[in-house]
Each structure stands twice: as C-alpha cells, then as structure tokens.
Chain A
C-alpha cells in the first residue's frame, strides 16, 4: 500500500496511507461537526482535502485570482522577539521591521507592537507609542495597525489589582470569583478605550486585538466592551478581533455581551458578537491537537472555520500561526504543512484572509 509523507500535530514527519489519511479527515470533520453543531465537510470537500494532503510537492498554492489578504499579529516581534514568540532574535528598529514586511515580505497589512504585546503595559508609555506610530505612518503605505493582546491575566494578582478567580474558586468563593472577573473585564474595557483612542489620534489605521479570550469569557467580554467604546469614539478605525481558541473558556460562566453569554461560543458564534461589537474583521481560531495527524487537525479546523465564514456578517481572517488552523504546534512549523493548511483554508473554508 502506497505511503505518503505528511505531518503529526507536533510537526514530526510521518507516513500514512491514503486510506489512513481519509479516515483521519472523516474523524476530524465529524469531531468539529459534533461539538460545534455545524455541518461536516461533504464528499467533494473531503476528496479535495485528500488531494491537498497527499500531494507530494513540498509547497502547494492557489490558482491565480484566488489570492487572499494577510494580516499579522505580534508586529516587529517576529524579527526582534525571542523563541517564546518564534522571534528571530534580531535587534532592529520598529520602522525598519515594518518597511521590510511591506516592501520585502509582501505584507498586505502590518502593525506596531510593544515588546510585552499587551494592552495594560502600553498605558504608561502611550506617548512613546504615539510618536512611533506618527513617524512610521509618514513613510509606510500599507494599512498599519497598533496590535496588542487584551491579556486580562495581567489584571489579576500578583500582577494586577483583582484577586485571581481560579484561586477563589479553589476556596469555593464562587461569587467573589465571578465579581473579580467582572471587575477585571470593566478595567480592561476602559484600558482598551484609553489606548485605542490615543493611538488613533496618532494616525493609526486601526487596532488589532490578538488572542482575545485567552483569560476566559470575561477577557472576551471585556475586549468586546472595549471594542464597542473604541468604535463609538473612532467610527472609522479599522478594528480586527482575533480569538484565542475555538471555544471561549467559561471561567466566569455567565458573563454576557449585549445579552449573549460568551462562555462556550464556537467560531461561527464568536463572529456574530465580534461584529456586533463593531469590529471590521474577525480572526477565527481552531487549536491543534499535537497527538493527532495533520489530516485530522486540518479537517477539523477547516470545518470550524468554514462555518464561521458562512455565518459571519464581516470578513474572516483565519488564524494560522503555530498550533492553530491545522498547523503543527512547533516553533518552526514545517513549510509543507503551512502551505497545505493555507491552501485548504482558502479553497475549502473560503476565508477572506489569513
């Protein structure tokens, strides 16, 4: 039986037969359909995915005219950061990094980022960020955002003013735990409005909220409330909201945005509340299971993202970094896997961007 080179969810090269790949694709799409209550891939889409995965060319691609737009998280830190961000460890200015992405790497959009890449630590240095934004906007041409994670974990002890909800739950202080989450969410929303309106006043094209909901449902809701305030203050700002996971973690459990309880929302449901808050583009996520194959992960991911694209009132840019969008969870994701995941998202999920 013929064997095909493919990848595991942790990036290792493995060999699978066509029948094994097909079985994993069927299992992956069935898993997403079951837990998301969304349609599984049909026979044609599954066959297309088999073709993409069994193609033994190192890099695959879409047909002319089918190209999509690329947005980026983490800004210049992909050059300057350490391996925690898959950064190259190359010290350089933020201006040079932005222009290299625009003129040498074909970036459709790019962003300015603080080295801690979170909303909260930007507050005390907002004037410096505004100056840098103004200078780079003078010379860059592509849409240039400010990017940061809401990262509500920074608002809890020992880093922030509110007690840690997980610690309180361990002590069975459920009401206190929920109150801590609610207070942190309000604080986060205020900080988003503060940082966002200041950076827009410096000429930014907009704001990219990366990894929204990483600290759970209150993080997700706090961000959306901040987005709503920013939209009201800056009606023309370009706002991108990217999620942290395929499901919003219910650490609070009951917190809502405009009447929608956000715990447990999947990408096709997240897209609707993100649009309601006033975002222009939604960054949909599906996480990679490192114990499963590329075929299983990609089929599951495409199923979730396809449903989000079909139901979203705004454009959807699928998140396709390390460990999301079917891509293996590896600091140096294999080029063959990245290329296959990208092609599948464009041709089967019909994403507006990556």
Chain B
C-alpha cells in the first residue's frame, strides 16, 4: 500500500521536504498549499523545487536537517530536528525534552 501511494503523489519524506511540510500542517494547522509555501520560503525555493530529490538531497545535507542516505558525521535524530526547529521557527517536543534533560 505504501509504495503505490508514494509513487502516485507522495512528497517522499526526508528525500525531499515531506517531513517539513507535515510539521507545519500539524504544528500550525496549515493546509497543504500554505504549508508548502511556508517551507519553500524558508528554504528560498519554490513549491515545485521543495519536492525535487535532486535539489533537496544536497540542500538537506548542507543545512544539517537529515538525509535518507547514511552519511557518517551528519546530523540525524535530535541534532537534525534541532536544526529543523531553527529553520522552520517552531519547537519540536522531543528536542524540548532533550534540552530539559541536559545539566548546566
């Protein structure tokens, strides 16, 4: 089921910006067009480019927001999400929990 849906209309998650658009939908109740425009503006791209793997593969690595291929030393998990917080100007619950657990 996942694959035909992905092939037909999927944003492809961290292969492009599907995770970022989803975050804006859930964090701010933005409908699809508005969420895409918000993410595109933050990235300096248009709404077609943010779903282009060729552009987003390199840009995600450059911004440290996680990639779908294994890159030793590149941010992933909490580190990548902290960079996403800054990029999208939002707070992410798991990052907030991580920060609370740090000792001064």
Contact = CB atoms under 8 A, between A and B. Distances in A.
B89 interface: no
A205 B66 CA distance: 17
A314 interface: yes
B10 A68 contact: yes
B30 interface: yes
Given A105-B2, A105-B3, A315-B31, A68 B19 contact: no
Contacts of A314: 29
Interface of A is mostly: loop
A200 B93 contact: yes
A142 B22 contact: yes
B19 A339 contact: no
Interface residues on A, range: 35 or more
B7 to A, nearest CB: 6
A353 B31 CA distance: 9
A138 interface: yes
Interface string A93-108: 0000000011111111
Interface in B53-104: 65-66, 68-69, 76-78, 80-81, 84, 91-94, 96-98
Interface in B8-47: 8-15, 18-19, 21-23, 25-27, 29-32, 35, 47
B80 to A, nearest CB: 5
23 contacts: A61-B8, A65-B51, A67-B11, A67-B51, A69-B11, A69-B18, A69-B21, A102-B14, A106-B11, A108-B13, A134-B97, A139-B77, A140-B77, A141-B80, A143-B26, A236-B91, A237-B93, A238-B27, A280-B26, A313-B29, A314-B29, A333-B1, A354-B5
